Amino acid sequence: MKIFIVSMLALSFIFFGMWGGIRIYNGIMFNLDCGGYIKNAADANTIELAKEQLCKALEYVEYHNLTSGNTGIIFHAPTNDVSFWYRNLKSAYVSLCQVPPNATELEKSNQLIKLRETLLDHDKDGDTITSPGGISIYPHNVIFCIWGLLSGAMLVVLCVVLYVELD
C-alpha cells in the first residue's frame, strides 16, 4: 500500500511540477513575444519607434487570436476582458498612425505620454504592462485551473495519507 501511495505522490508531484513549469514557460514566452514589445512601445522616444514596437505586439496578439473573450474563469471581470485590451492596443496604434509627420514636438510628446499611460499600469512595484490576468495561457485558462487544482489537491491528500500510513 505504501508503495502505491508513494508512486501516486510522485506522479502528483510530476503533474503539479509540469503545470507550474508550463505556466512559467508560457509567461516568459508571452513577455518575450508580446509584452516586451508593448513595454518598448510605451518607452519609445519617437512616434515611429512606438509604432514599430506596437505593430510587433499586435501581430502576436492577432496571430494567437487574443482578440476577444475573457480570461476570467468564474467571474468575467472587466480587467480580464481580452476584447477591450485588444481594441485598446489597436486604438493606440491607430492614434500613432494619425500623427502627421509635420506635427510639433509638443504634439508628438503628448501622444507618447498618452500611449505610455494606455500601455502601462503603475503600482508599488513599478510599471507593468496593462494586460488581462492569465493572458499568457488564454484560451486554456480553465484547463490550467483544473489541472493545478487537481494535481495540487492530490499532492496534499497523498501527503496526508502517507503521513498517516507512516505513523
Closest CA to 6 of 14, 20, 147: 14
Give the pLDDT score at 138: 95
- At 6 the three-state DSSP class reads helix
Give the pLDDT score at 6: 86
Please state the length of the chain.
167
135 vs 144: CA distance, rounded Å: 12
Tell me the pTM.
0.88
Q: What is the 3-state secondary structure (H, E, C) of 73-94?
A: CCCCCHHHEHHHHHHHHHHHHH
Helix axes 82-97, 47-63, angle to 10 degrees: 150
pLDDT < 50 regions, the chain: none
pLDDT tens digit string along 77-126? 999 999 999 999 999 999 999 999 899 999 999 999 999 999 999 888 88
Domain locations along the chain: 2-166
Give the pLDDT score at 53: 98
Give the pLDDT score at 3: 86
